[in-house]
Amino acid sequence: MAVIDIKNVTKKFGDNTVLNNITLELNDEISAILGPSGSGKSTMLRCINGLEPIQQGDILVDGVSVKTRSNLRRIRKTCGMVFQQFNLFPNLDVIQNVTLSPIKILGQKRASAEKHAHSLLEKVGLLEKARHYPAQLSGGQQQRVAIARALAMNPKILLLDEVTSALDPEMTADVLKILESLAGEGTTMIMVTHEISFARRVSKRILFIDQGSIAADMPTDAFFSVDDQRIQKFLQHVG
């Protein structure tokens, strides 16, 4: 069954149409959204958890519509999100970043939230940084904390918005390693990425977005061997 059901969605910024009548279903698996810059990839991800409102159509997350404002908090608990710029809270240390929402929103006890946070930080290899502040960490470390923070809410789906685009190759490798192990555990992920080889390795399905429309939607293997000029040109340019 589809966990995310996108129906005839149109999204505009002023007169500029960013998503043009998109319809697709995303399943309980790993999907990668590829496409040139400015094609609407990130916007689509941000529409799924309601960070961007849509003008037409509807998106159902686990059967719940983003069109009703009061549903949004429920949807956002279903979808964890990791951002390109990490967006850790600079006033809080690592453990506080990871436990803030479980304590304040899920009502967990501090002790159990911290216990969970410790196991997540261990998973991302940063347990020894628990008492550091974001500014004291490298970009790659910050992004790994951001992944732990998203996982701390026990989301059903993880939305990854170009999570390695602000990182150098070495840090990128660290972050991808963690995502790969999450993939191995069967976490549902929808990722917007420019890491083509990574997408090829872990995702089951590729969505290729071009100028606000779905230009291709196919299993990963098929995508990389398809005889389509637009896709071939894109793949050549990103290497």
**Interface with other proteins (CB under 8 A):** 46, 49, 51, 72-73, 76-77, 79-81, 83, 85, 87-91, 93, 100-101, 104-105, 133-136, 146, 149-150, 153, 159
Nearer to other proteins, 35 or 80 (CB): 80
Nearer to other proteins, 83 or 234 (CB): 83
Nearer to other proteins, 34 or 98 (CB): 98
Residues 99-108: b if buried by 16+ CB within 10 A, e if exposed: bbbbbeeeeb
Token duo for residue 124: 């991302």
Q: In the complex, what is the shortest distance from the CB of residue 44 to other proteins, in angstroms, rounded to a whole number?
A: 15
Cα gap 71→173, rounded to integer Å: 36
Q: In the complex, what is the shortest distance from the CB of residue 12 to other proteins, in angstroms, rounded to a whole number?
A: 19
Nearer to other proteins, 64 or 235 (CB): 64
Q: In the complex, what is the shortest distance from the CB of residue 109 to other proteins, in angstroms, rounded to a whole number?
A: 18
* Dihedral angle sign, alpha carbons of residues 226, 228, 229, 230: negative
Q: In the complex, what is the shortest distance from the CB of residue 56 to other proteins, in angstroms, rounded to a whole number?
A: 22
Amino acid letter, residue 158 = L
CB atoms within 10 A of CB 200: 16
**What single-letter DSSP state applies at residue 30?**
E
